[in-house]
Structure 1
Amino acid sequence: MERPLLVYTTFPDVDTGLAIGESLVRDGLVACINMLPGMRSVYAWKGAVERGEEAVGILKTRTGLRDRVHEALKDRHPYETPVIFFIEPAGADAATLGWLLAETAGG
């Protein structure tokens, strides 16, 4: 049985995340993207410690689309090495899961 899947990623800004997220919604690969602006990051990159401002994107999809979402997100993402984490919730509200499955049925 299909299970919900959350995909956590970061973008350089909200507009970039929304554009990529909308394309994934239109393709039926995700039901929704939530963008959280204003994140400040400190991270190690190629031997240096960097600081930057980013926006967090949380995408809602289903486990059966994991590989397709992963490929599409990497293809469309502006970062050389985007952070992409797959988080499998322990469960979901039945109505929420029904909506998620219906909205990604064409993906």
Structure 2
Amino acid sequence: MHSLLSTYPYLRLLPRAFSMATRPPEAPAPTGSDYIAGSVSVVFVTCPNDKIAKTIARSVVEKRLAACVNLVPQITSVYEWKGKIEEDNEVMMMIKTQTALAPSLTEFIRSVHPYEVVEVIALPVQQGNLPYLNWVKDSTTPQ
């Protein structure tokens, strides 16, 4: 077996950065961050319309249960309910909060939401933009 250099001697002229043997350096781990993976969550909640979603969004931000709520309009949900396949247009709320606040946030949403069974799903954030994640923590109040 012969080497690539014996077959293609002009490869010696290429800078090392273009060599197949060279890998890009690993990004250094962030330093000086007090963020703990999973301490911030994104909570998904569906609402029947924009008006209800905006009312809930404003309330959870005012109560400091959430730092930010994004409203994604015009989603279609297909689901089984009481033995029947349903299809509805809804609004998706993407709520950013501290993971520790998820139970209080869920309780509040259940108390004001019109659905009999409210979708509230919290997913922990493992990593992200550290200034943003710290802002989420600073903008919410642990209960």
TM-score range, shorter chain: over 0.9
Alignment length, in residue pairs?
107
4+ runs of 1 displaced by more than 2 Å?
A: none
Question: Which TM-score applies when normalising by structure 1?
Answer: 0.93
Q: 1: CA distance between counterparts of 2:88 and 2:99?
A: 31
Between the two proteins, what is the percent identity of the paired residues? 29
Determine if the alignment matches structure 1 residue 7 to structure 2 residue 57. no
Determine if the alignment matches structure 1 residue 46 to structure 2 residue 46. no
SS at match of 1:35: strand
Determine if the alignment matches structure 1 residue 30 to structure 2 residue 30. no
Q: 2: CA distance between counterparts of 1:31 and 1:89?
A: 14
SS at match of 1:88: strand
Please tell me whether the aligned partners of residues 4 and 91 of structure 1 are also in contact (alpha carbons under 8 angstroms). no
Determine if the alignment matches structure 1 residue 65 to structure 2 residue 101. yes
Determine if the alignment matches structure 1 residue 87 to structure 2 residue 123. yes
Q: Which amino acid aligns with 2:86?
A: E
Greater relative contact order (CA < 8 Å, ≥ 6 in sequence): 1
Q: 2: CA distance between counterparts of 1:52 and 1:9?
A: 14
Q: Which one of 56, 62, 84 corresponds to residue 20 of structure 1?
A: 56
- RMSD, matched Cα: 1.4
Question: For structure 1, which runs of at least 5 residues remain unmatched after alignment?
Answer: none
1:16-46 deviation per Cα after TM superposition (whole angstroms, max 9, x unaligned): 1111010010001001110001111211000
Please tell me whether the aligned partners of residues 100 and 142 of structure 2 are also in contact (alpha carbons under 8 angstroms). no
Partner of 2:22: none
